[in-house]
Structure 1
Amino acid sequence: MTATGTTLVVGATGTTGSRTAARLAAAGHRVRAASRRATPVPGATAVRFDWYDPATHGDAVAGTDRVYLVPPVGDPDPAAVMLPFLARARTAGVRRAVLLSSSATAAGGPAAGAVHEALPGLLDEWAVLRPSWFMQNFTGTHAHAASIREDGVVLTATGSGRVGFVDAEDIAAVAVHALTDDRAPGTDLVLTGPEALAYDDIARIYTEATGRPVTHRRLTHGQLRDHLTRTAGIPAEFAAMLATMDRTIAEGAEDRVTDTVERLTGRPPHTFHEVVTRETARSAGAARP
């Protein structure tokens, strides 16, 4: 890796942003950790940043030469705020950007797909990370994790469809390389774990790793949509989109693995068993007085 200037990490308190900021700081890079509350991050300078408040953008990007971009959560058209920010960042001296997108979204697709498509025309140095679904969905604050803790069940409309679930630590490791290597990837990188797993497999492995019985309850598209709206309070349009994403998994859209993590980091990606064991041990340690 080459010595760098200063990296702005947008979403520095989130699942991948926090891990990326921590890894950059641990490696000796200067980091500006951006969040809406300017939450302190060890080894980084905390700055306030709100995608919907352009007044926060100038101070956040000042003095930086690269940026890790996490789109605003739940926004169906993030390009409306992200592209003006990127143009401003380029003028301020940013020369490299790494965008967090999704394996389900290609360039020109919905949500971050529009930013992905525009990024090469805005900056010469760039990469788009397209991770599969996070393993941390089953251990953190995601609805699946809450359902496991409360009822010992995972509810999906994925049937027997498989997903190359990926560890957020592996995403962050790739992000650090994309941000700091001598040459930016200049492409999109699909990130997965070492194997594609069905949700039945997820339930089984979680049970084996923790000793807590977990089952996968298969729902129809309509049942999942209604459950998300009624129980989780998710707006009907967004709930329908989430249910449709499950249906695409059932149809095989996420049944793949890539060598990207090992190719860029020099080590294999973590298994789901490793991640569940690690994350539950962390949670147990944090809960002790």
Structure 2
Amino acid sequence: MTHTEHTQQTERPILVVGGTGKTGRRVASRLADRGLPVRIGSRGGLPPFDWEKPETWPAVLEGVGAVYVTYYPDLAFPGADEAVGAFAEAAVAAGARRLVLLSGRGEEGAVRSEERLKQSGADWTVVRANWFAQNFSESFFRDPVLAGELALPVGDAVEPFVDADDIADVVVAALTDPRHTGRTYELSGPELLGFHDVAAQLSEAIGRTVTYIPVTDAEYRAALAEHGLPGEFADLFALITDGRNASVVHGVEEALGRPPRTFAAYARDAAAAGAWKD
């Protein structure tokens, strides 16, 4: 893409799929702060967007120059690669050549989606992220943290949790700077933490005790069923327990020229912002 072509692309709206989610709303906010036009892709958006309803895609892609692609519920779920591939082809056909995909580090299913997106002919960037630190404050771990007990099937495994703010900064750079085209960035935090460490750092930040309680896979699946959640969520813990992501990677530094934020800094800021207030 030439500089002129890139300028023309960024003058058109940037579609943020999942623009109300953990990374999407951060990306949308950063783009808006730069004075760039943003369109939110969500079921409640105008026009609405729904991954399960391809008939909603053309309207939300109309006039768009670039897209941040996030897939719900997760790229590891069956059928994700077909949906992402079809959407990427629709985006390129509509004139949105610049696509940035949020992917999962170490996820075979995610790699299939990456390949399908690349086959669309897009100017692509892939951002592979470890588990988000914000899962403990904005997602499925928040209620257990509030209850003071993290009962999870991860044993003594370790994970370099990445801050969603770091992910958003990398995504915005990729959406707005052609130097990131054709790059795959693997993002993690700066340190490996076990869940006892996580509980200790959350306890310090919040000012009350949070305890990590190891449970079996069967016990966790039973708890998911009790809350009406799909059992596939339990499968995602294999990304932690088998050690495939038990190393620090350096995509944040590669993309931004600065180190990633620590989990302790995330926890302090989230607590100060009232993330764990009832």
Same fold judged by TM-score > 0.5? yes
Secondary structure class of the residue paired with 1:253:
coil
Q: Show the counterpart of 1:271.
A: 262
Q: 1:284 to 1:17 in 2, by over 3 A?
A: closer
Q: Show the counterpart of 2:33.
A: 26
* Shift in Å, 1:247: 4.3
Q: Mapping of 1:188-227 within 5 angstroms?
A: 188-227=184-223
CA RMSD of aligned residues (A): 2.2
Secondary structure class of the residue paired with 1:15:
coil
* Shift in Å, 1:286: 8.9
Residues 1:251 and 2:242 aligned together: yes
Distance 1:89 1:278 in 2: 37
Q: Once structures 1 and 2 are overlaid, which stretch shifts more, 13-22 or 250-259? A: 250-259
Q: Show the counterpart of 2:229.
A: 234
Residues 1:146 and 2:133 aligned together: no
Distance 1:116 1:234 in 2: 26
Secondary structure class of the residue paired with 1:98:
strand
* Shift in Å, 1:180: 1.0
Secondary structure class of the residue paired with 2:128:
strand
Q: Once structures 1 and 2 are overlaid, which stretch shifts more, 87-96 or 130-139? A: 87-96
Distance 1:185 1:157 in 2: 38
Secondary structure class of the residue paired with 2:167:
helix
Q: Show the counterpart of 1:103.
A: 105
Contact 1:157–1:247 (8 Å) recurs in 2: no
Q: Show the counterpart of 1:183.
A: 179
* Shift in Å, 1:222: 2.2
Q: 1:133 to 1:203 in 2, by over 3 A?
A: same
Q: Show the counterpart of 1:42.
A: none
Distance 1:87 1:60 in 2: 14
Q: 1:212 to 1:195 in 2, by over 3 A?
A: same
Contact 1:96–1:123 (8 Å) recurs in 2: no
Residues 1:168 and 2:168 aligned together: no
Q: Among residues 72, 82, 89, which one is paired with 2:84 in the alignment?
A: 82
- Residue 114 of structure 1 aligns to which amino acid in structure 2? R
Q: Show the counterpart of 1:36.
A: 43
Distance 1:284 1:262 in 2: 27
Q: Among residues 18, 38, 53, which one is paired with 1:11 in the alignment?
A: 18
Structure 2-normalised TM-score? 0.89
Structure 1-normalised TM-score? 0.86
Q: 1:224 to 1:286 in 2, by over 3 A?
A: closer
Q: Once structures 1 and 2 are overlaid, which stretch shifts more, 80-89 or 14-23? A: 80-89
Q: 1:124 to 1:215 in 2, by over 3 A?
A: same
Q: How many residues align?
A: 269
Identity %: 36
Distance 2:249 2:239 in 1: 19
* Shift in Å, 1:173: 0.4
Distance 1:66 1:286 in 2: 37
Q: Deviations over 1:72-128 (max 9, x none)?
A: 3155212333322221211111111111111131xxx22x33220122221241011
Q: 1:258 to 1:53 in 2, by over 3 A?
A: same
* Shift in Å, 1:184: 3.1
Distance 1:62 1:169 in 2: 28
Distance 2:155 2:257 in 1: 34
Unaligned runs of 5+ in 1: 39-45
- Residue 250 of structure 1 aligns to which amino acid in structure 2? T
- Residue 226 of structure 1 aligns to which amino acid in structure 2? A
Distance 1:141 1:285 in 2: 12
Secondary structure class of the residue paired with 2:28:
helix
